[in-house]
Structure 1
Amino acid sequence: MTRPELSPDFLHATRTSYDAIAAGYAEWTRDELAGKPLERGMLTVFAELVARDGGGLPLADVGCGTGRVTGYLHGLGLGLDVFGIDLAPGMLAEARKDHPGLRFAEGSMLCLDLPDASLGGLLAWYSTIHVPDEELPRAFAEFHRVLAPGAYALLGFQVGDEPLRLTEALGEEVALVFHRRQPQRIAELLREAGLGLVSVTRRERETDGPFPERAPQGFVLVRRPVVSGGCEDGDISAAN
């Protein structure tokens, strides 16, 4: 399959920024999930769905960063073949150090080096947030391509209408844009990419604790329709 060239600007800025903060980021976020029971619950439900309906195919954590969520999914003991993909070599180095038994590979969600219909599940946990609006349909088309029929994808992201731009993080110079988006808009784009909507969740921001938030959080669960009679079934939410 011939793939178009990737737009270099935001990819380069995101990669170099996360390479610069990789060690500090790994330390800062290592225990973050311990204080987020709702997120742990959603990730666990997602993993159980993949274990049930993923046909034994791998689960990819796309934009895995330092691998903390990859490790969490693996540690659930559901027998999932979980691996991580990330843009930044520095983050992957931290992931391999913290989770030496898991697989991690460098790559971009805009052009995944994976065969068609090869995944039983795909997680994009706060990784689409750096993708510009005009490139988001391309990423979601890739999600649809690599998911097997019946496989699930779960996305997490910040909710809002205006992006956040950071030039400094963890004491390092960065050039990061955090695109905040409305859950229904993400759901609409995923449906346009051919993925069936399962659930849309919004959580208000937490202002206390070790990880205070600037914005509410959104979570969208979708599924590639199951092939039936030579074509894909329609949207799951519309069928019930």
Structure 2
Amino acid sequence: MAESSSYLDTTANAYDAVAVLYTELTRNYLDPLPLDRAVLAVFAELVRDAGPVAELGCGPGRTSAHLRDLGVDVFGVDLSPVMIDIAREAYPDMRFEVGSMDALALADDELRGVLSWYSIIHVPPREVPAYFAEFRRVLAPGGHLLLGFFESEGDPVTPFDHKVTTAYRWPIDDLAKLATDAGFLEIGRMLREPLEGERFRRGHLLMH
């Protein structure tokens, strides 16, 4: 437990420290990413009108607001209190809460959708199964999960020097298997090659 608390504290403190700069640098980040927007649109279509959806690791709330604009009943959870303060100020009509993705203050089967958009990237690989188990716990039967992450392009799970704190790139097949082991079924996947200014291939998994 002490080790888990250590990496959680490290991640929260790192994002607290750069929250304002991060928010400014990622302003309108989806605008040049039509494939990413398309994946989010499919997810939105599947969960729209189905019930509450949570973006876990919501940061400054931009992706949550994007889903809201697509008609989704969505709220955000993030480990960083400063990020949550920024999200609440930017989107006062939406719900944002401080919390950890591996221990959510939610009832079993409470959600119809979970979005983890580049938010498990800082989780040490040995801890990821516990996160998927928590996602499964809070999702009602038939609920949907969308994962966004950095793909390792055939290499094993690989740590890298993320600008905020240590992060991990995953082989898409390995991450899909962990989700399957937690009780999810894959609907589809999308791999996107890096654009100018990006270092790594992007992976997306849609599960239910």
TM over 0.5: yes
1:193-204 equivalences under 5 Å are: 193-204=182-193
Amino acid at match of 1:214: R
Amino acid at match of 2:200: A
> Which residue of structure 2 aligns with residue 49 of structure 1?
46
> Which residue of structure 2 aligns with residue 187 of structure 1?
176
Structure 2 distance, partners of 1:121, 1:15, is 24
Structure 2 distance, partners of 1:6, 1:139, is 15
Structure 1 distance, partners of 2:29, 2:184, is 30
1:21-100 equivalences under 5 Å are: 21-51=18-48, 54=50, 57-76=51-70, 78=71, 80-100=72-92
Change (3 A) 1:47 1:125: same
Partner of 1:33, secondary structure, is: coil
Amino acid at match of 1:47: A
1:94-113 equivalences under 5 Å are: 94-113=86-105
* Cα drift, residue 5 of structure 1: 7.8
Structure 2 distance, partners of 1:99, 1:196, is 33
* Cα drift, residue 6 of structure 1: 7.8
Mean Cα displacement is larger for which, 156-165 or 80-89? 156-165
* Cα drift, residue 165 of structure 1: 2.5
Given the alignment of the two structures, is residue 222 of structure 1 paired with residue 207 of structure 2, yes or no?
yes
> Which residue of structure 2 aligns with residue 228 of structure 1?
none
Structure 2 distance, partners of 1:42, 1:5, is 37
Given the alignment of the two structures, is residue 18 of structure 1 paired with residue 3 of structure 2, yes or no?
no
Structure with bigger gyration radius: 1
Corresponding pairs, count? 204
Alpha-carbon contact 1:65-1:92 (below 8 Å) kept = yes
* Cα drift, residue 100 of structure 1: 1.1
Structure 2 distance, partners of 1:38, 1:17, is 29
* Cα drift, residue 7 of structure 1: 1.5
Match of 1:9 among 6, 9, 24: 6
Structure 1 distance, partners of 2:104, 2:166, is 22
Q: TM-score, normalised by structure 2?
A: 0.94
> Which residue of structure 2 aligns with residue 164 of structure 1?
160
Partner of 2:187, secondary structure, is: strand
Structure 2 distance, partners of 1:32, 1:165, is 20
Amino acid at match of 1:204: E
Alpha-carbon contact 1:158-1:180 (below 8 Å) kept = yes
Which segments of 5 or more consecutive residues in structure 2 lack a partner in the other structure?
none
Partner of 2:169, secondary structure, is: coil
* Cα drift, residue 144 of structure 1: 0.5
Partner of 2:114, secondary structure, is: strand
Structure 2 distance, partners of 1:188, 1:30, is 33
